[in-house]
Amino acid sequence: INNLDKSDLNSDLKLLSLREPISRFISYHNKNILEESSLQEELNYTKKEFEFGLSLKPNLEEFVNKINIYCYIFNDVLHHILPQTAYFNELTYYDCVADLKSSYKLGEAVSKKLKLENKISPPKKMVSTKKVKSIDLSDNVQSTLEKLFKDDVLMFENFESTKEFSKTFSFDFKQEV
């Protein structure tokens, strides 16, 4: 979006869907690493269980404890753990900002802009089959993830307290984990 001509964007509807960062990370670990073997895929579908001294299907504790090494070796990991703030402009730039749990708000905004009678439904969630809420986090994992995503959490908290009520915003980031 940063490469687009800003004058063209003034008449467009700008939407953004965000997710509570810790549940986003845990869902990534469950779905991509454990269920879909993304680390093995990045190594051309190797049958190996370990590479570079790392498990290619680490449990959450091991993954968090060695997150710096995983990021250094695997593009997939780095891409997925970057703070969400790395991917968008200031939140006030968007016409509709919605927590993933309230993504129907995005469909409502598009439907209204296009003057549609029937509201557009949001895309199906791309999430793990494991429920994030059902995962117990050790104090170490919880503390590490809170530090890792503190910028996202702070940005969301600051935005929530200063948002412009003339726009459509739905932001209910209560920790899910």
Which pLDDT tens digits describe the chain residue by residue (177 residues)? 455 455 555 567 777 878 888 888 998 999 899 989 999 999 887 788 999 999 999 999 999 999 999 999 999 898 888 888 888 877 778 877 777 777 777 777 777 777 778 777 766 655 555 566 667 889 999 999 999 998 888 877 776 655 543 344 444 443 333
**Prediction pTM value:** 0.73
Rounded to the nearest 5°, which phi and psi values hold at 54? Answer: -120, 145
> How many Å apart are CA 15 and CA 24, to the nearest integer?
19
CA distances from 97 to 16, 28, 55, 73, 170 (A): 5, 22, 37, 33, 6
Task: Work out the number of other CB atoms within 10 angstroms of the CB of residue 136.
Answer: 8
DSSP secondary-structure letter at 29?
A: I
* Counts of helices then strands in the chain (DSSP H, E): 9, 5
> How many Å apart are CA 169 and CA 140, to the nearest integer?
33
Q: Which stretch of DSSP H or E encloses residue 111?
A: helix 104-113
For residue 88 the two structure tokens come to 């968008």
